[in-house]
């Protein structure tokens, strides 16, 4: 699940928790919304920490200057 999926989970969870007043006999939609928001937030935190670690480990190679000694004085 990428960053977009995590943001969608948070948004749908917030809609279920705060913007709906549906009543189901066997499902508490407020609790489902809170769980979806928590899973989305945890996903965002994990995704950003993995992204930081991945970006921090890449070191660009150092390239030296190469001179052509025969053409230097032409």
pLDDT band at 63 (very low <50, low <70, confident <90, very high): confident
pTM above 0.85, yes or no: no
22 Cβ neighbours under 8 A, 6+ residues apart: 29
List for the chain the helix, strand, coil content (%; round to 5). 60, 0, 40
Tens of pLDDT, residues 22-38: 888 899 999 999 999 99
Q: Assess contact for 2 and 40: CB atoms under 8 A.
A: no
For residues 33 and 28, what is the distance between their CA atoms, to the nearest angstrom?
Answer: 9
Q: Assess contact for 36 and 5: CB atoms under 8 A.
A: no
Say yes or no to pLDDT of 51 above 90: no
pLDDT band at 59 (very low <50, low <70, confident <90, very high): low
């Amino acid at each position: 699940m990428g960053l977009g999926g995590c943001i969608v989970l948070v948004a749908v969870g917030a809609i279920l928790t705060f913007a709906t007043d549906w009543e189901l006999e066997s499902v508490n939609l407020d609790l489902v919304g809170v769980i979806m928001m928590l899973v989305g937030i945890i996903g965002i935190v994990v995704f950003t920490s993995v992204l930081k670690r991945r970006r921090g480990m890449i070191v660009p190679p150092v390239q030296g200057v190469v001179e052509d000694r025969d053409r230097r004085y032409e």
